[in-house]
Amino acid sequence: IISYDVLLDIFWRNHNPTTLNRQGPDIGSQYRSAIFCHDDTQMEAARKSLQHASKSYEQSIVTEIRMAAPFYDAEEYHQKYFQKHR
């Protein structure tokens, strides 16, 4: 089992949280840096992790931290993308 704090650490290390609505060559709000929390404990941990992560970047972190909303599956052609495009 991986703790939420470890997941947050992995999150900050695996993308650039200082670019607004962009990751690599992909541009648009769907590529924004975001953390979706399921309760107040996760929200507090995410905010603390942002403060800690901000010490590692010269630019401001633009990651959005908010409570999770209902999640809906993507269209069928987006399902199992990795398996379809190996």
The predicted pLDDT at position 78 comes to 85
Strands 34-37 and 64-67: parallel
Beta-strand ranges (E) seen in 7-79 are 22-23, 26-27, 34-37, 64-67
Per-residue pLDDT at 64: 97
Long-range contacts made by residues 6-9, C-beta under 8 angstroms, separation at least 24? 8/35, 8/45, 8/46, 8/49, 9/49
From 73, 76, 52, select the one nearest 63 (Cα to Cα): 52
**Residue-level pLDDT at 44:** 99
User: pTM of the full predicted structure?
Assistant: 0.79
User: According to the model, what pLDDT value does residue 53 have?
Assistant: 96
- Residue 19, pLDDT > 90, answer yes
In this predicted structure, what is the pLDDT of residue 71? Answer: 86
Q: Residues 53-69: pLDDT tens digits?
A: 999 999 999 999 999 99
List, in order of start, the domains of the chain with CATH numbers: 4-69 (3.30.1060.10)
**What length is written for the chain?**
86
